[in-house]
Structure 1
Amino acid sequence: MSTLNGTTFNDINRNGIFDAGDVALPNVTVFLDTNGNGSPEALEQVRVTDINGFYSFPNLAAGNFLVGQIVPPGFTRTTLATPVTLTGAADATTVNIANTGAVAPVVVPSLTGNISGAVFVDNNLQGLYNYAYDDKGNLVTYNNTNVYDVNGNLVVNPNGFSSQTQVYDPLVDATLPRVPVYIDLNNDGFLNANEPRTLSNEAGFYNFNALPAGSYLLRIAQPADKVDGAISILGDVQTTNTPLVVDVFAGSTTNKVDLGLVVPNSVYGKVINDRNGNGVPEANEPGINGITVFLDSNGNNVFDLGEKSTVSAADGAYIIKGLNTNVGQESNATLAQNPYLAYQLLVDPLSVAKTFPVTSVPPTTAYVRTSPTPGATIDAPVIPGGSAQANFLYTFAQTPTAVLRDSITGFVFNDLNSDGILQPGEPNQAGVQVYLDFNNNGKRDNDTSLVEPASVTDASGSFGFFNLTTPGDYIVRTTSSGKFPTTAIPNVILGSGQAAQLAIGVSGVQPKPAINEKTLIPVPGVQVVAQNPFLPNTGFPVV
């Protein structure tokens, strides 16, 4: 069964993310709005947020859920109430609810204080999180302004990464969501039932509110503590600066209590769908599943047998572990003979760190990498026992080379309700064979007399046919065991130098009435002039 949880908060900086400086809202009524009327009804599940603004709905079956909220007085809800699709598996989905108001809520009694901070990947093992600031000096996670590090160096600008830091996200050290943090009241190193605990939010920040003044010992929970909703890689990480003793003073918040984690000797990051093609990761851009990321040890930009690799997960995240970062520090004899190496390892380990050439395999030929540039590798420096971040951004049909002349590209989606309409929550379908039916006989011919081109959809559901003869007509069909077409059969009419994009629906349930596969729907091509960006008027035509 699935769990749906989250935090209601006062979005002080109005960026829609629960991050540093925002304040949790306790005692707020949250409910599963089954009928969508905005009010809790008798049969709807209702929760009241705790002192940390947290709510949870466990044991939910598969389906779509709408999280409603009774807006606190003086506030306006700014997070849109949109349906959330749960699988019914043993997983957790977080929906934080942002509220803004002219007056900040009173959540800190006069005799209590708060703790807040980030849980971050401590790449350089120094135990310090690299906060970033905008050009007005305000603390930010990321937005479309100039972003500077704590030393005043430009990290990123609205047009993309600066050349010095193109490898990394604006914060360099990534924050981690869903990491369990707790206050170890008896200092036994274990999370006990009576000890306050919380999970870092999707931006990697956490807080404890309304604590009596005093000193507290903060730790990160271990896998053996079995915290619901915790991040899956918890068993691989090591802490770099915990436990931490934190002093809390009445009527104030102790900020920047940042907790470092690292997967030793690793390169990690995300493969991101760069929807607007600007080469910068943004909050509304999802990860890409199933992408091979590898160390290009021979520099040929091809994934070869024996090269260390991994595959991105559903959220686009990947990690390559077990790198050989030894530069001599593992040998006492080497260090004794090279005192300068010992000094460098102590004061500036990055100067002697090994670099690892990281690159990725494109999802399909219809995708173009926007960061780093196509064909480039990221030389990720990893200090002994540390880690480095390397992200890859791809765009589909947003750059001059993404859509070529004389091509048909698109994606196949899983039409869950068999209505022939692409709707929110309907995922793209991998592993579907799409082919060009030259003789319109309803099957793919593949023999000595006729070989009809075929393209199998990748992990993101995409397919493509290129270098087609134009002008010409092309009937596009799918073959997938147990799947029925739910959209009309397209007859793509390409003129010279034109291209077309399609969204094709399939379903495990045959639509009623069934699609007449002998009836063809004409889809005209669109001219691609001098390889300009291909931008359909309203997106992909669902045919």
Structure 2
Amino acid sequence: MDSFFSDNLSASSTIPFLNVETPLDSIREGRQNPAPVTVASGQNLNGINFGNTQFGSISGIKFNDLNQDSLLTAGEPSLAGWTIFIDTNNNGTLEATEPTTVTNATGAYAFTNLAPASYTVREVQQAGWVQTTANPGPVNVTGGVDITGINFGNSQSGTITGIKFNDNNGNALFDAGETPLQGWTIFADGNNNGVLDTGEGSLVTGADGRYTFANVPPGNYTLREVQQPGWTQTTPNPGPIGVSGGTNAIINFGNRQFGSISGVKFNDLNSNATLDTGEPSLAGWTIFIDANNNGTLEATEPTTVTNATGAYAFTNLEPASYTVREVQQAGWVQTTPNPGAVNVTGGTDITGINFGNNQFGTITGLKFSDTNTNALFDAGETPLQGWTIFIDANGNGTLEATEASAVTGADGRYTFASVPPGNYTLLEVQQPGWTQTTPNPGSVGISGGTNAIVNFGNRQFGSISGIKFNDTNANSLFDAGETPLQGWTIYIDSNVNGVLDPTEPTTVTGTDGSYVFTNVPPGNYVLREVQQAGWTQTVPPVQA
């Protein structure tokens, strides 16, 4: 064979040297090398052709797309150590048999010696990052062409985390001592409608009140909480939350639970300061929170009005201490003491802050001249003006400077108005020459708007007087020089029998012979004397 090639081939021949003793697979690439050729003596073989092509390459840069615009812009850092692969089966996953390369310190990668063909190039994702560039379409490599600029941009994902807490003081800050709230739903409001919709990301706060959205792709997000009954959000809804390049956003949500104060306004008929069975409710009364504790309703203080059942309520009250008062109405007196400070804590409903009132009453009556002394104001009897009637508060029977009093008018009437419920003793101030004919009234009870009528009757007394004398001339007249007689008994002969009876009034003449019967009620009386032995009466007895 050596003789064949040296005899028949010139030095300028372009036919490559083939060492047939060399195994075939070691002298050809793939299937392009021809099979062994046998040349017979004098034979000319044609068509033993050799075709060649140039290989191409695909290259690009892996970079941190800080502004997420999918473009490699000045200042954006390269990313080393990322795996780029040719996805031969186009399933998006790196298989063991697929070609790979790793980006270098400058973020560059390259696939070289690529035969002309169409290639799909992909990257292997890394945790905490999101691809910002679209996956490149098929890359068509032709002979000798180097395809560049097949870049992959990524941005680091971030986290959004925070605490859900009970904002007791309502200052929108998570302060020391405030309690984390478990079981609240925080969500990314993708359509910004304030409602958790299907498909929107959400988390539930844990025992420590914390929620965390991890691996959040760069972007702007709106976070909201799902409200729960009885709570009010104290922190403002956050604006758009920007996440980029591994940033961690902290967004806390504060809420606080409000409380209430309620009670009943009632007519305390028995004035015992307790709402008893059967006592009616009072509608239309104003109850207020006395913010400055001065006992007066100010324009800025919260108010409510009792309803048809007497009930009132202040709702949505922040945790605090409150003073509750009522606006008084004319003709009524409060029977329940003003409640002390009412301490409202989050979520508590304070009940039973009741207000009892009883209606004022009046005590009125007439002062009259009881001429017939029957203790009744009869037709024809005269009202008495200018008499003082008083409430004997200490029960000593005497008008004191601090005791309420009224003076009868021209019609004999007196009136104590707006008298609080209670029991009262009424008396009159006596006047000389008069005697009370009506008994002193007992305790006068006032409750629930009652009006008591208490009359006082008096009558004016007279007197009967005269002289007992020695009628020496028997002319029935007390003449000058005639002597008064002392020690004679004069009596009122009530039964007109001419005899002094044990029950009949008597008096004895004095040294001047005079006698007198005082405090004699109006009426007709027969006077007599008790005869003494040796004397004869010269003045006939007369009816007084």
The question of a shared fold, defined as TM-score above 0.5 by the shorter chain, is answered with no
TM range (shorter): under 0.3
TM-score, normalization by structure 2: 0.23
Larger radius of gyration: 2
TM-score in terms of structure 1 length: 0.23
